[in-house]
Amino acid sequence: MSSRAKPGRGGSARPGGAGSEGTGAAVALRIRPARRGDLDRVTAIDATVTGLEKAAYWRSIYRRYGAGAQPERAFLVAELDGRVAGFVIGEIRDWEFGSPPCGWVFAIDVEPGARLGGIGTRLLESIGERFRAAGVTKLRTMLARDNTLILSFFRSQGMMAGPFIPLEMDVEQARHG
Amino acid sequence: MRLQKNTSLALYSVLESASQPQRHISAAEIAARLGASPHHLAKVLAELARAGILESARGVGGGYRFAGNARRLTLLDIVQMFEDVGPHPDAVAATPIERAIATILSEIDEHALATFASITLATMLRLIERQRTVKAQPASPRAIKPL
């Protein structure tokens, strides 16, 4: 699954599916910061969900959010039995839209075969812990309202509608002459 | 937003039964708790049973028991059994004013539908559990009418 959380940010995948309410199978699950060597798997998971392979985009995301990035940015992967099975990306943004600093999750994705095992939940918990450690107490995301699957995932994690309403409009072409 | 009475009865009945999935709850017990007409409620419960969301058992200890999948069933699945959730009827309105009003009403409807569609019964049961631990707040005047 994945979701875009900020207008004009990045180029994350279209959402696919969540893994929120897991069966708790006895497998080794580890959440850790992404490494450059994870990008092939991240790209592949995203491509599975979206049908688009965007290797350059994910390299760019890694440069901005991966190892060595500022502490307010997070790019975490879920390693299931030694294999990357999901990822989450987000950052703390200050005073945007008049909001006190809060953590935005703008992409979260779990490979389809590993869903319903609680990986999405662990990823969200982990990025939430990082944001909390950095001093913010609010986690936000934004996604298409017809993306029922991922909406359901975030709802299952306790997310509710926030105090903001997204608005948009078409920008008319400039008139010449 | 206000729901039809049948919708509210259905939501309450399903959530009540889903919170105690092993137990058969009698229609009379639910009706008494809601202050609803047992006859009226019986029709709602029968509809839910026809849809496979509840199952009924006759005799002593009988009643209705939750038969759905709480992790798959959404509020919209229940709501749309009792409400017309299709496009707003004014969407084909003739005048610009009617169409402008219909546009806004449709926007509201779409948000409401997305909300109902995104909330499973399992999520609702967790929300209900959390509500047990918070002090009761006065209902917003725009909130769903309490049963």
What is the distance in angstroms between the Cα of B60 and the nearest Cα belonging to chain A? 36
The percentage of chain A sitting over the pLDDT mark of 70, rounded to a whole number, equals: 81
ipTM, interface predicted TM-score of the complex: 0.76
CATH number, position B118: 1.10.10.10
Closest Cβ opposite residue A146 in set B114, B123, B127: B114
Which residues in chain B (69-98) have CB-CB distances under 8 A to chain A?
Answer: 71, 74
Looking at the domain that runs over A29-156, which CATH code has it been given?
3.40.630.30
Closest-CA residue to A76 (of A136, A130, A137): A130
Q: Where are the alpha helices (H) located in chain A, listed in sequence order?
A: 39-50, 55-65, 119-133, 148-156
Closest Cβ opposite residue A155 in set B111, B119, B130: B119
Range of the domain at B31: 5-132
Q: How far apart are CA A149 and CA A151, in angstroms?
A: 5
Determine which of B74, B80, B118 to mutate to test the interface with A (most A C-beta atoms within 10 Å): B118
pTM for this prediction: 0.79
Q: How many domains does chain B have?
A: 1
* A67 neighbors A36 (Cβ within 8 angstroms): yes
Answer yes or no: is B11 within a domain. Answer: yes
Answer yes or no: is B139 within a domain. Answer: no
Residue B10 has pLDDT above 70, yes or no: yes
- Mean pLDDT over each residue of chain A, to the nearest integer: 83
Closest Cβ opposite residue A21 in set B71, B111, B119: B71
Q: Which of A19-23, B19-23, B122-126 has the lowest mean pLDDT?
A: A19-23
List the beta bridge partners of residue A56: none
Answer yes or no: is B145 within a domain. Answer: no
